[in-house]
């Protein structure tokens, strides 16, 4: 019988972190682990940060918040005990709560590293170096961060995966796609994307440059007909959208910042140099689909789920043996 594993999962947001936590709970249950999902909101985090729980903390009963998460198996519970023999999984945004579960084994899962800075400012780092606190990394950016802070001698990978791969079965063939380049224009972008679009128009007026956005289904449809997706964001973690684009047969160009280093094998640039990037975009849109993309890059995205399940088994089997 495996040790009970409590996966704290944000209830109020539909973003990469909460979905990764659902994926973790699902993978654990599929492999026979006793995984329990505990939903929380920000008010409860503040309350717990100011409390002194001895035996655990009650978060309250909730149900799966979003329809698309129904694909994942979860066993929802309302409290997390602070006792020996249990494992508490905290996303990096809750790392300051690790001392609250000093009797349990705590696993801090470093997903979007930058989003954890606020929580880090609220905890003495020595609390994150204690023997009962373990660390897992989603990206090499996160691993380097853990190493730089000397938080753990041993850290293991725990990534995530692109979901619902059946919808990627038959995207538009490359030669039939319009000369379309999609751009991420959200708050994470650290380059002058408008300047890049202007330079592309100067180099090749026939290429259409469009901001990507809308519903998840709408974005997937855009990826299925575009030739390139350009994401020059700060990459606080191993972002999903470049991988979703690749799954749809759309080549991706990402920045070299943060978790973008993990995505360099799907295209990338070492800096936001508008002229060079504009030339890369034109070359990619006008050129044939590379054999490397079809042979190596796209299959890697389709293997993500199997890799993730292997990582989950390896990490939590080791926990079971040691706790």
Residue 114's nearest CA partner among 74, 142, 135 is 142
Q: Contact 36/62 with Cβ under 8 angstroms?
A: no
Same domain, 118 and 146: yes
Q: Which two tokens stand for residue 233?
A: 């964001």
Same domain, 174 and 46: no
Report the DSSP pairing between strands 156-157 and 133-137.
Answer: parallel
Output the pLDDT for position 153: 80
Q: Is residue 272 part of a domain?
A: yes
Of 92-106, 154-168, 176-190, the poorest mean pLDDT is in 154-168
Backbone phi and psi for residue 139, each to the nearest 5 degrees, phi listed first? -130, 160
Same domain, 10 and 154: yes
pLDDT in tens, 201-218: 999 999 999 999 988 888
CATH of the domain at 75: 3.40.50
Q: Is residue 96 part of a domain?
A: yes
Q: Is pLDDT at 126 greater than 90 in this prediction?
A: yes
Residue 142's nearest CA partner among 110, 120, 119, 188 is 110
Same domain, 140 and 182: no
pLDDT in tens, 246-290: 989 999 988 877 777 666 555 555 544 567 889 999 999 999 988
Same domain, 44 and 134: yes
pLDDT in tens, 286-303: 999 888 888 888 888 889
Q: Is residue 295 part of a domain?
A: no
Q: Is residue 296 part of a domain?
A: no
Q: What does the alpha-carbon distance between residue 197 and residue 67 come to, in Å, rounded to a whole number? A: 36
Q: What does the alpha-carbon distance between residue 18 and residue 5 come to, in Å, rounded to a whole number? A: 16
Alpha helices in 42-131 (DSSP H): 42-49, 117-120
Same domain, 144 and 241: no
> How many structural domains are present in the chain?
2
Q: What does the alpha-carbon distance between residue 259 and residue 139 come to, in Å, rounded to a whole number? A: 6
Q: Is residue 233 part of a domain?
A: yes
Q: What does the alpha-carbon distance between residue 213 and residue 312 come to, in Å, rounded to a whole number? A: 32
CATH of the domain at 240: 3.40.50.2000
Q: The dihedral of CA 120, 126, 127, 131: what is its sign?
A: positive
Q: Is residue 111 part of a domain?
A: yes
In DSSP notation, 24-67 reads HHHHHHHTT-EEEEEEE-HHHHHHHHT---SSEEE-------SG
Same domain, 194 and 251: yes
Q: What's the average model confidence in pLDDT over 149-156?
A: 88
Q: Is residue 298 part of a domain?
A: no
Domain that holds residue 81: 4-160+304-322
Q: Is residue 61 part of a domain?
A: yes
Q: Contact 181/231 with Cβ under 8 angstroms?
A: no
Q: What's the average model confidence in pLDDT over 139-145?
A: 91
Same domain, 126 and 196: no
Same domain, 194 and 210: yes
CA distances from 203 to 180, 230, 255, 280, 317 (A): 14, 17, 21, 11, 54
């Amino acid at each position: 019988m495996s040790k009970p594993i409590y996966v704290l999962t944000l209830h109020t947001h539909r973003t990469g972190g909460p979905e990764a936590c659902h994926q973790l709970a699902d993978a654990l249950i599929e492999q026979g682990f006793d995984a329990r999902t505990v939903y929380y909101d920000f008010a409860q985090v503040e309350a717990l940060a100011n409390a002194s729980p001895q035996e655990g903390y009650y978060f309250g009963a909730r149900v799966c918040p979003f329809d698309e998460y129904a694909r994942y198996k979860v066993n929802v519970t309302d409290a997390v005990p602070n006792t020996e023999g249990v494992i508490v999984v905290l996303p990096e945004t809750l790392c300051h709560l690790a001392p609250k579960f000093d009797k349990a084994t705590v696993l801090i899962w470093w997903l979007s590293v930058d989003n954890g800075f606020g929580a880090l400012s609220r905890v003495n780092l020595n609390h994150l170096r204690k023997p009962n606190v373990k660390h897992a990394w989603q990206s090499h950016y996160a691993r380097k961060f853990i190493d730089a802070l000397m938080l753990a001698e041993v850290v293991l990978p725990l990534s995530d995966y692109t979901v619902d791969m059946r919808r990627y079965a038959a995207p538009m063939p490359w030669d039939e796609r319009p000369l379309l380049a999609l751009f991420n224009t959200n708050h994470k972008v650290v380059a002058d994307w408008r300047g890049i679009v202007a330079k592309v128009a100067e180099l090749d007026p026939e290429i259409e440059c469009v901001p990507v956005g809308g519903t998840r289904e709408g974005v997937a449809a855009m990826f299925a007909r575009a030739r390139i997706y350009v994401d020059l964001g700060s990459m606080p973690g191993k972002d999903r959208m470049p991988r979703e684009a690749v799954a749809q047969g759309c080549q991706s160009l990402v920045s070299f910042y943060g978790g973008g280093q993990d995505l360099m094998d799907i295209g990338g640039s070492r800096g936001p140099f508008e002229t060079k990037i504009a030339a890369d975009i034109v070359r990619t849109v006008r050129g044939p689909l590379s054999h490397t993309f079809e042979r190596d890059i796209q299959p890697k995205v389709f293997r993500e789920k199997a890799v993730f399940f292997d990582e989950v088994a390896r990490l939590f089997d080791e926990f079971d043996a040691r706790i």
